[in-house]
Amino acid sequence: MDSTVIESVALGGAADLSMWSLFLRADFVVKLVMVMLAAASFWSWAIIFDKVIRLRRLFGRADQFEESFWSGGSLEELYDRIGSRPLDPMASIFVAAMREWRRSAARGKGDHSTMRTGLSQRIDRVMQVTLGREMEMLESRMGFLASVGSTAPFIGLFGTVWGIMNSFQSIALTKNTSLAVVAPGIAEALFATALGLVAAIPAVIAFNKLSGDLDRYAKRLENFAGEFGAILSRQLDEKE
């Protein structure tokens, strides 16, 4: 290849190395890898924004609920005010426990000691079941972030290997090892790895951050459930 041709290829390659051109010129398999990684990155960011906003809202609502709960007012009035549609997991735990408390009070016949033991166990069980259900809902789609963080680099690497294999085949067919000739193919291949890292890095960071926040929120719910269970147990003792 003479200098004029090489210069022409090089000048044309500058435009061809844009992201869109790299995608359009890529092999079908590499294109499929790029589309998968771009879709995974988009969905990961959607999950991240949703979780961050939801957790911030839930921590705020938990602060408001605890302020009302520890204000010294009547638990019955708080239950009536919240109603059957609590807006956050902490209120859901409270409502579930109070509903069981009222049902048992309405039935309240028989040996008081036996009834007290059974009621305490039922209230604790109801709160734990509610807590588990609420946390399961909050942790939904977290597995997707973990999967993207662990697999996206390898998927991108697969696209890179496939693209480089195609570049080597082109070199063998043209019998030309000029950088101006092989650079576009190699750039297409490396673009897949770049997309894999773009998808994986935010997913890993967000997964670790969100997991810590969810663990902290779950611990807060467990502490509230334990404290509320102790309050109800003391009220049962006072009725003896």
Ranked by mean pLDDT, which of 55-59, 105-109, 179-183 comes out on top? Answer: 55-59
Lookup: tokens for 109: 């016949």
What does the angle CA 64 – CA 210 – CA 59 come to, to the nearest 5 degrees?
Answer: 0
pLDDT at position 1 is 38
pLDDT higher than threshold 90 for residue 65: yes
Helix ranges (H only) for 70-141 are 75-82, 89-107, 112-138
Taking residues 100-106, what's their average pLDDT? Answer: 78
Q: For residue 176, what are the contacts with CB-CB under 8 A and spacing of at least 6?
A: 1
What is the rounded average pLDDT for all residues in the chain? 83
Taking residues 13-39, what's their average pLDDT? Answer: 75
Q: Specify the pTM.
A: 0.80
Categorize the per-residue pLDDT at 17 as very low, low, confident or very high, splitting at 50, 70 and 90. Answer: low
**Backbone phi, then psi, for 140, in 5-degree steps?**
-65, 145
Per-residue pLDDT of 129-184, as tens digits, reads: 999 999 999 999 999 999 999 999 999 999 888 888 877 777 777 776 666 666 66
pLDDT higher than threshold 90 for residue 232: no
Q: What torsion do the CA atoms of 144, 149, 151, 155 make, to the nearest 10 degrees?
A: 110
Domain locations along the chain? 3-239
